[in-house]
Amino acid sequence: MPNCVESRLALLEAAQNPDGGWGYFAGKQSWLEPTAYALLALGDEPRARRAFDRGWRLVRSWQAAGGGWRGCALAGDPHWATSLVVTLHCTRGIWDEPFGSGVDWLVSSSGAETRPLSRLAHWLSPETVEFNPALGGWPWEPGTSSWVEPTAHALMALSRAARHVRQGGLENRIDVGKRMLLERRCRDGGWNYGNRRVLGADLPSYPETTALALMALDGHTLVEWGDTLTHVERVWQGSASPLARAWLAACLLQYRGVRPVSTGPCDTGDILVAAVEAISWNRVMAA
> Which residues are near another protein by CB under 8 A?
23-25, 28-29, 31, 33, 71-72, 74-75, 79-80, 112, 119, 123-124, 126, 139-141, 143-145, 147, 149-150, 192-193, 198-199, 201, 203, 206, 208, 240-244, 268, 270, 272
Nearer to another protein, 50 or 119 (CB): 119
CB of 39 to another protein, least distance (A): 17
CB of 86 to another protein, least distance (A): 18
What are the b/e assignments for 110-142, b being 16+ CB within 10 Å? bbbbbeeeeeeebeeeeeebbbebebbbbbbeb
Selection from 224, 265, 272 nearest residue 250 by Cα: 272
Selection from 287, 221, 284, 225 nearest residue 254 by Cα: 284
CB of 111 to another protein, least distance (A): 9
Nearer to another protein, 1 or 124 (CB): 124
CB of 274 to another protein, least distance (A): 13
CB-based burial label for 107 (10 Å; 0-12, 13-18, 19+)? buried
Nearest 10 degrees: CA dihedral of 174, 284, 23, 65? 50
Nearer to another protein, 99 or 236 (CB): 236
Nearer to another protein, 108 or 144 (CB): 144
CB of 146 to another protein, least distance (A): 9
Nearer to another protein, 55 or 100 (CB): 55
| Number of C-beta neighbours around residue 35 at 10 A | 30
